[in-house]
Amino acid sequence: MAKAASAPRANGTPAAKPSKQELLGYYRTMLLIRRFEEKAGQLYGMGLIGGFCHLYIGQEAVVVGVQAALSEGDKVITAYRDHGHMLSTGMDPAGVMAELTGRSGGYSKGKGGSMHMFSREKNFFGGHGIVGAQVPIGTGLAFANLYRGTDRVCTTYFGDGAANQGQVYESFNMAELWKLPVIYVIENNQYAMGTSVERSSAETHLFKRGSSFNIPGEQVDGMDVLAVKAAADKAVKWCREGNGPIILEMKTYRYRGHSMSDPAKYRTREEVDQYREKRDPIDHLRATLVERKLATEEELKELDKEIRGIVNHAAEFAQTSPEPDPAELWTEVVH
Amino acid sequence: MPPEILMPALSPTMEEGKLAKWHVKVGDRVNSGDVIAEIETDKATMEVEAVDEGVVSNILVPEGTEGVKVNTAIATLAGDDEPKPKSGGNGASAAPPAPTPLPKATPAPAKAEAKSPASASAPAAPPPAPLAADPAIPAGTEVHTITVREALREAMAEEMRRDPNVFLMGEEVAQYQGAYKISQGLLEEFGPKRVIDTPITEQGFAGLGVGAAFGGLRPIVEFMTFNFAMQAIDQIVNSAAKTLYMSGGQMGCPIVFRGPNGAAARVAAQHSQNYASWYAHVPGLKVVAPYFAADAKGLLKAAIRDPNPVIFLENEICYGRSFEVPKLDDYVVPLGKARVVREGTDVTLVSFSITMGIIIQAAEALEAAGISAELIDLRSLRPLDIATVVESVKKTNRVVVVEEGWPVCGISSEVATQVMEQAFDYLDAPVARVTGKDVPMPYAANLEKLALPSLDEVVAAAKAVCYRN
């Protein structure tokens, strides 16, 4: 773990070691995201999902580890690679999948699609399609928390590509100036569409990007859910104690292309295989569970079966839920 | 003739001000850079510095005098009676050039000079036309005369008292008391938690406001002018306007983006654009552009309470204009309703915001020519109350639409189209438009005047649709 030189750190007691139950929970959610995304890719190939569809495969540990550190009332916002975030906040996989297929049973009644889904109930504020635009919004959600006098935080996710957007730095400035409880989670999957961080960023250590605003930053192994959880615990504590914003740069990797239509010719097969075979977050946790005798192979197979059942049900619902009524075209433009 | 010190203009729109204080008296010697007087408008107090050296020989305007016109002589300087520095000339040094005092802002505006707020020192409103009473106001309601600026301030203050979730943020809204003094006194009453000075970072604070609205607050985001909101237009359109629809009705964005829109005076192309049609184009937004103070107050209160994002377009030149406002505890004007402000029979003149002043004057000129004009103030641009226009056209059969903005894809284009669609059979002449010219705003005074819609153009267009010369 690297730290920005100027970064003050939260000096709390280290979070307690995750229990068996917690570890199984992380495994379960990561697996759900993986299987869900594989199914989404399949439905896309069948022409059932249209437009842009950005899969989260490979990055599961990031959102699962961060979400595990949050509590009731904390808020979440991200960009368009958002299916994993929705599933980890507890949104119904069937409702998410039905939105991907543009059906009335989707979270946005089929009017938002892959990139635009929300759940007030789960404090998930989207789902935003413009690179970087969710960052000031997430900062504003944190502002609302502080304004109301709560200690709730807003986790604001963005990618290495968005990290070069001007509005990110406008947000950093105000967040630190007003000590807003916002955790900026940079999901550095190393490619902004097809452009690598090295080719797009003068400072490739993205956790340092807050230094000129005095925002502490930390680089975290985003392929290791336990490392993510530990870092997120500290970050949440930092924010709850009124210290203002904090940046977590999650070094991660997406196995698939930027979107379904991306053949990913900008990187080698060897590079991808390196991550898939040696760094996979799900395999890694599975090995830990077996090694520590926290779960047997049979139990894990059973879990896998259960997850496949949930995903198959979601896919079924997403294909049988009716298309939105034509009258829906004209509703919800304004209140 | 002794050199004169003239009343300076503090801004391009200032016409007069108060000579608040003299720092010198007759007989005092002044050096260039000395602060010699303070002048005030309803917006700001400024110090006047001497430019040249000399001895004050006469104070022409005593301190405390109100309504001193710009360029009036306020004092004279006598030739220097102290020994002159030796010069190689013929000994009689030339009289110092007429000093032109430099106004010095206190406190200095934080923005670059180009963004420096201009101030209107209450330019006179156009002469009153016999306007129809607003039917929404009960007959016999007591009224008071206040400026548009005060009306906007009252609206925000009343809504902030009513709802603790309402807050104001923007550049210079708090300690500076507002670049145009709309928020004067609000920091004192509501404190820094609810009246928030932002950095100069429009995209950032517009997006932050959207997030705060998603989080259940009721932000009022002030843009120093809407010219600067172009930096933030992605957040306004993509984040604020579309989210209700994209979320299948789950989310909402109750936010007001407000500030002066359109041309001020002599601030040239980048600071003089009218954005009415830009925002009126966008489903998911509501767009309001009042002219009268009562509408400014009532519509702003409605905008703050509205659950949707509302673009509230003000006009710098109109801030200082005074109108009657009903003295009611809670005066709210519904969004989306135009108002017939003057009844007439021969031609309908439709406008909104500052150009209402022109059509009011035009109605008088037309009256003198025997043409009875009906005047409609659109007030809201989205939703557009075309029904009120159509009803009027059914009566007058002729319509002229007047706006300050550019003609292509403008508000007047939209009104013309909808009148054609809905009242074609009632038209006795093609719909006429008078708009700003299709050019960036020029700086030169004469060209700027030509670029804006004029009274003469409106009168000519009205006569043309009446087939009168």
Residues of B in contact with A142 (CB under 8 A): 211
Cα separation, B219 vs B216, in Å, equals 9
Q: B244, A332: Cβ pair inside 8 Å?
A: yes
Contact of A172 with A165, CB cutoff 8 Å: no
Which of A107, A143, A154 is the mutation pick for testing B, counting most B CBs within 10 A? A143
Q: Specify the long-range contacts of residues B88-97, CB closer than 8 Å, at least 24 apart.
A: B95/B3, B96/B3, B96/B52, B96/B53, B96/B54, B97/B3, B97/B52
Q: B211, A333: Cβ pair inside 8 Å?
A: no
Strand partners, B58: B76
Strand partners, B166: B218
Among residues A217, A202, A198, A232, the alpha carbon closest in space to that of A64 is found at A232
Q: B238, A129: Cβ pair inside 8 Å?
A: yes
Cα separation, A60 vs B456, in Å, equals 68
* Residue B132 C-alpha, separation from nearest chain A C-alpha, in angstroms: 32
CATH homologous superfamily for the domain A20-315:
Thiamin diphosphate (ThDP)-binding fold, Pyr/PP domains (3.40.50.970)
Contact of A33 with A87, CB cutoff 8 Å: yes
- Write out pLDDT tens, residues B272-314: 999 999 999 999 999 999 999 999 999 999 999 999 999 999 9
Cα separation, B229 vs B250, in Å, equals 27
Report which secondary-structure segment, H or E, holds B393.
Answer: helix B386-396
Q: Is B271 on the interface with A (CB under 8 A)?
A: no
Q: Of A119, A125, A335, which is closest to B244 when you measure between CB atoms? A: A335
Which of A52, A117, A135, A147 is the mutation pick for testing B, counting most B CBs within 10 A? A147
Residues of A in contact with B205 (CB under 8 A): 136, 170, 174
Q: Of B167, B248, B308, which is closest to A109 when you measure between CB atoms? A: B248
pLDDT at A293: 95
Angle, CA of A330, A332 and A333, to the nearest 5°: 70
Cα separation, A237 vs B1, in Å, equals 76
Among residues A21, A33, A28, the alpha carbon closest in space to that of A60 is found at A33
* Token output for A131: 């690179």
Which phi and psi (to 5°) does residue B169 adopt?
A: -135, 150
CA distance to B25, B26, B36, B247, B398, per residue, from B5 (Å): 13, 13, 10, 63, 53
Contact of A192 with A81, CB cutoff 8 Å: no
Catalytic residue, candidates B202, B324, B404, B448: B202
Cα separation, B436 vs B444, in Å, equals 16
Q: What is the value of pTM for the model shown?
A: 0.89
Residues of A in contact with B250 (CB under 8 A): 107-108, 118-120
Cα separation, B217 vs A143, in Å, equals 10
- Indicate the Cα dihedral angle A119, A122, A124, A127, nearest 10°: -40
Residues of B in contact with A127 (CB under 8 A): 246
Count the neighbouring beta carbons within 10 Å of the beta carbon of residue B57.
Answer: 14
Angle, CA of A79, B250 and A128, to the nearest 5°: 10
Cα separation, A268 vs A263, in Å, equals 11
Q: Can B23 be counted among the known catalytic residues?
A: no
Strand partners, B313: B259
Cα separation, B105 vs B58, in Å, equals 25
Q: Of B199, B216, B248, which is closest to A332 when you measure between CB atoms? A: B248
- Which residues, 6+ apart, have CB-to-CB distance to B253 below 8 Å? B210, B213, B214, B239, B240, B241, B243, B244, B308, B309
Q: A109, B249: Cβ pair inside 8 Å?
A: yes
Among residues B389, B300, B301, B293, the alpha carbon closest in space to that of B339 is found at B389
Distance of CA B292 to the CA centre of its chain: 11
Q: Could you tell me the strand order of the sheet in which B432-434 lies?
A: B339-342, B373-377, B347-351, B399-402, B432-434
Among residues B331, B229, B253, the alpha carbon closest in space to that of B290 is found at B331
Q: Could you tell me the strand order of the sheet in which B286-288 lies?
A: B195-197, B166-170, B218-222, B256-260, B310-314, B286-288, B380-382
Catalytic residue, candidates B16, B47, B158, B271: B271
Contact of A57 with A264, CB cutoff 8 Å: no
Q: Of B217, B235, B286, which is closest to A133 when you measure between CB atoms? A: B235
Domain boundaries, chain A: 20-315
Q: A335, B286: Cβ pair inside 8 Å?
A: no
> What pairing do the DSSP bridges indicate for beta strands B256-260 and B310-314?
parallel
Angle, CA of B19, B25 and B26, to the nearest 5°: 120
Q: A140, B207: Cβ pair inside 8 Å?
A: yes
Q: Is B244 on the interface with A (CB under 8 A)?
A: yes
Residues of A in contact with B215 (CB under 8 A): 75, 140-141, 143-145
Cβ density class A300-334: b for 16+ within 10 Å, e for less: beebeeebeebbeebbebbeebeebeeebeeebeb
* Token output for B367: 């009256």
Q: Can B202 be counted among the known catalytic residues?
A: yes
Binned at pLDDT 50, 70 and 90, residue A41 comes out as very high
Strand partners, B380: B288
Which phi and psi (to 5°) does residue B381 adopt?
A: -105, -25
Count the neighbouring beta carbons within 10 Å of the beta carbon of residue B363.
Answer: 26
Residue A222 per-residue DSSP state: T
Cα separation, B28 vs B6, in Å, equals 18
Cβ density class A19-42: b for 16+ within 10 Å, e for less: eeeebbebbbbbbbbbbbbebbbe
Per-residue pLDDT of chain B (469 residues; tens, 9 = 90+): 578 888 988 877 788 899 999 999 999 999 888 899 999 887 778 888 888 788 999 999 999 999 999 999 999 998 655 444 444 444 444 444 444 444 444 443 444 444 444 444 444 555 445 678 888 888 889 999 999 999 999 999 999 999 999 999 999 999 999 999 999 999 999 999 999 999 999 999 999 999 999 999 999 999 999 999 999 999 999 999 999 999 999 999 999 999 999 999 999 999 999 999 999 999 999 999 999 999 999 999 999 999 999 999 999 999 999 999 999 999 999 999 999 999 999 999 999 999 999 999 999 999 999 999 999 999 999 999 999 999 999 999 999 999 999 999 999 999 999 999 999 999 999 999 999 999 999 999 999 999 999 999 999 999 999 999 7
Cα separation, B125 vs A122, in Å, equals 53
Q: B249, A332: Cβ pair inside 8 Å?
A: yes
Among residues B276, B336, B316, the alpha carbon closest in space to that of B147 is found at B316
ipTM of the complex: 0.94
Q: Is B88 on the interface with A (CB under 8 A)?
A: no
> What pairing do the DSSP bridges indicate for beta strands B347-351 and B399-402?
parallel
- Write out pLDDT tens, residues B203-249: 999 999 999 999 999 999 999 999 999 999 999 999 999 999 999 99
Q: Is B252 on the interface with A (CB under 8 A)?
A: yes
Q: Is B243 on the interface with A (CB under 8 A)?
A: yes
